[in-house]
């Protein structure tokens, strides 16, 4: 399970990097491109801690002397979980912002390309505010 999840996270980072490098070839509205950048940021933030966490767990499994070596403290458990939870909130919020942007693009197809330039920025700011609210609610629960 650790190897599979680690490999999937590594593949996601590689594919996302290839997509980001070839972004100039991708023809889309500048609002969508900016929101895709935010989504890429959150996916990177999900993948790197996952890879580090799985690597740490694998090292612990290979070097443990007794099964009690696998037990972590409550603080370690919270930090491992909260980083991933915050990144998932950010990813979901960025997908929500992209869906709003795509909905607006499809409903106003004739005039969308002439729409004002700040629309993507407003969605990105709204996405960050919503993510902060959800993060604060999550940290109050923990």
Give me the residue label for tokens 């997509």. 19
Of residues 140 and 19, the one with the higher pLDDT is 19
Residue 101's CB is within 10 A of a number of other CB atoms, namely 22
pTM for this entry: 0.62
Which residue blocks in the chain are alpha helix, DSSP H?
A: 2-21, 30-63, 74-107, 109-112, 119-141
Do 12 and 5 touch, CB atoms closer than 8 A? no
Of residues 29 and 33, the one with the higher pLDDT is 33
Q: How confident is the model at residue 117 (pLDDT cuts 50, 70, 90)?
A: low
Of residues 66 and 115, the one with the higher pLDDT is 66
Residue 78's CB is within 10 A of a number of other CB atoms, namely 14
């Amino acid at each position: 399970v650790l190897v599979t999840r680690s490999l999937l996270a590594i593949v996601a980072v590689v594919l996302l990097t290839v997509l980001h490098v070839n972004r100039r070839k991708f023809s889309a509205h500048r609002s969508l491109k900016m929101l895709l950048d935010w989504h890429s940021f959150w996916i990177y933030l999900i993948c790197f801690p996952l890879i580090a966490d799985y690597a740490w767990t694998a090292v612990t499994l290979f070097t443990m002397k007794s099964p009690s070596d696998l037990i972590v403290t409550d603080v370690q458990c919270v930090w491992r979980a909260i980083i991933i939870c915050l990144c998932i909130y950010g990813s979901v919020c960025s997908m929500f912002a992209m869906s709003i942007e795509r909905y607006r693009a499809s409903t106003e197809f004739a005039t969308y390309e002439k729409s004002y330039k700040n629309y993507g920025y407003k969605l990105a700011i709204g996405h960050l505010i919503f993510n902060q609210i959800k993060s604060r609610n999550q940290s109050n629960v923990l």
